Amino acid sequence: MNAFVYAQSINMSEEKFQVRGEICHWDYNKKAAVVLTFDDWTPGQYPLVVPTLKQFKMVATFFPLTSNIEKTDIGWKAAQATAKNGNELGNHTLTHPDITKLTDETLEKEVMEPVSQIEKIVPNNAVISFAYPYGAGADDQHSIEFLRSKGFVGARSVWGMSDYSYNFAKEDEDYYKIHCYGMNESTKNSQFNAEVESVIKGGGLLTFLYHSVDDDLNSYHDSWYAQVKLDSLKEQLRFLKKHQDEVWVTTFGNAILYHREANCAKLRVQERDGFIEAKLTITNLEFRDLVPQTLMVPLTIKIYTDKKWSSVEQNGMSIPIDKQTDTYVQFRAIPNGGEIVLKQN
Ligand SMILES: [Zn+2]
């Protein structure tokens, strides 16, 4: 029998004999996702944070006020350079209003003007993430519906109780109510570390929120608010680096996209003589309407097999094998990206 077997994030101990494939919870089968977000485009973010992230080979999400980008001498060139390093530029409105208090016309301008500015000047950066100024809107149905109708895949609120379990988004709208851990001058590195350790245990998503990053003694003074010293930020990145086998440090948009895709993708696997065929498809039509195919991020999948495979292709293109053991082969594939074929020779 070559019956297709459906599998999605299945508990292996219970379904040991039926499972042929599994969609991993996070990229490269890491245990948890951590996102660093930097709000408002405070003066230290470009000169200090961007090169530091590059030095640590990490990426983050910046939620600039586009009006603040335009106030600096370097202007949009800094935004372009930030995105070029793999960081995400999200949307935090034009001038930081409470979006629940705006007329429809002003809401449209405050949210959509930054989208067209960013996408025009930084064309490879799709604006799909939103951060509510003051956190206002995360509990407002009208704001959430507005963001969804404009193609945002998720939105970040402010400091609040976070659910670090993998099942943090029980409803679609929960993706538009993501809480974060706020960093400021009094945050100790031990607190940062404890949050990271908690999310590793929980298996979910941890989002940090930073504002000013300051290095007044050595290089650049960012006096705005909630100052985190550059040396502290570096310690925090070092801690993440130490846990890089367990933690996927990524952008807000990538983490949300991965989680949303994995939650509605189906993996079907069929083994024949000498090869395996697999299909990774998104069956949720609302999600298909929200996210264009070009924005889909790859999902890490495991196929349980005791045979050795020499190549994996998707849609005729070779894709790298991340890991191969006596019991499974692991690689990344794009949902709805065409048929996956594993070959032995
Ligand atoms: Zn802000």
CA 324 to ligand 1 center in whole angstroms: 45
CA 134 to ligand 1 center in whole angstroms: 6
How many domains, in total, are found in the chain? 2
CA 93 to ligand 1 center in whole angstroms: 9
CA 260 to ligand 1 center in whole angstroms: 25
Instruction: Give me the pLDDT at residue 12, please.
Output: 43
**Average pLDDT over the chain, rounded to whole?**
93
CA 203 to ligand 1 center in whole angstroms: 28
For residues 133 and 211, state if they share a domain: yes
Confidence category of residue 15, pLDDT binned at 50, 70, 90: very low
For residues 46 and 150, state if they share a domain: yes
pLDDT one-digit tens code per residue, 318-332: 999 999 999 999 999
Mean of the pLDDT values across residues 266-285? 91
CA 68 to ligand 1 center in whole angstroms: 11
CA 219 to ligand 1 center in whole angstroms: 24
Judged against a pLDDT cut of 50, whether residue 124 lies above it is answered with: yes
For residues 187 and 271, state if they share a domain: no
Residue of 299, 297, 305, 306 lying closest to 277 (CA atoms):
305
CA 138 to ligand 1 center in whole angstroms: 14
Q: What is the CATH number of the domain that holds 233?
A: 3.20.20.370
Mean of the pLDDT values across residues 245-253? 98
For residues 47 and 194, state if they share a domain: yes
Mean of the pLDDT values across residues 161-182? 94
CA 337 to ligand 1 center in whole angstroms: 37
CA 235 to ligand 1 center in whole angstroms: 24
CB neighbours of 220 closer than 8 A, spacing ≥ 6?
43, 44, 47, 48, 214
* Strands (DSSP E) found in 40-105: 61-63, 88-89
Confidence category of residue 272, pLDDT binned at 50, 70, 90: confident
* Whole-prediction pTM: 0.93
Residue 249 amino acid letter: V
CA 133 to ligand 1 center in whole angstroms: 5
Mean of the pLDDT values across residues 128-134? 98
> For the CA atoms of the chain, what is the radius of gyration?
21
CA 11 to ligand 1 center in whole angstroms: 40
Residue 78 lies in a domain: yes
For residues 111 and 202, state if they share a domain: yes
Residue 249 lies in a domain: no
CA 95 to ligand 1 center in whole angstroms: 9
pLDDT one-digit tens code per residue, 195-211: 999 999 999 999 999 99
CA 32 to ligand 1 center in whole angstroms: 26
CA 40 to ligand 1 center in whole angstroms: 5
CA 99 to ligand 1 center in whole angstroms: 12
Residue 329 lies in a domain: yes
Mean of the pLDDT values across residues 116-140? 96
Q: Which domain holds residue 141?
A: 31-244
Residue 131 lies in a domain: yes
Phi/psi of residue 342, nearest 5 degrees: -105, 130
Instruction: Give me the pLDDT at residue 221, please.
Output: 93
The answer to whether 56 and 28 have CB atoms below 8 angstroms apart is no
For residues 335 and 302, state if they share a domain: yes
For residues 235 and 198, state if they share a domain: yes
Instruction: Give me the pLDDT at residue 228, please.
Output: 97
pLDDT one-digit tens code per residue, 181-198: 999 999 999 999 999 999
Instruction: Give me the pLDDT at residue 117, please.
Output: 95
For residues 178 and 318, state if they share a domain: no
CA 276 to ligand 1 center in whole angstroms: 49
Residue 158 lies in a domain: yes
Residue 256 lies in a domain: no
Judged against a pLDDT cut of 70, whether residue 180 lies above it is answered with: yes
For residues 54 and 197, state if they share a domain: yes
For residues 282 and 157, state if they share a domain: no
Mean of the pLDDT values across residues 103-115? 97
CA 96 to ligand 1 center in whole angstroms: 6
- Our CA dihedral for 116, 121, 125, 131, rounded to 10 degrees, sits at -50
Residue written as tokens 């991340």? 322
CB neighbours of 112 closer than 8 A, spacing ≥ 6?
150
For residues 195 and 319, state if they share a domain: no
Instruction: Give me the pLDDT at residue 263, please.
Output: 96
Instruction: Give me the pLDDT at residue 197, please.
Output: 98
Instruction: Give me the pLDDT at residue 162, please.
Output: 79
Q: What is the CATH number of the domain that holds 332?
A: 2.60.40
Beta bridge partners of 211: none
Residue 203 lies in a domain: yes
Residue 252 lies in a domain: no
Confidence category of residue 271, pLDDT binned at 50, 70, 90: confident
Confidence category of residue 16, pLDDT binned at 50, 70, 90: very low
CA 39 to ligand 1 center in whole angstroms: 5
Instruction: Give me the pLDDT at residue 6, please.
Output: 43
For residues 90 and 148, state if they share a domain: yes
CA 141 to ligand 1 center in whole angstroms: 20
CA 101 to ligand 1 center in whole angstroms: 16
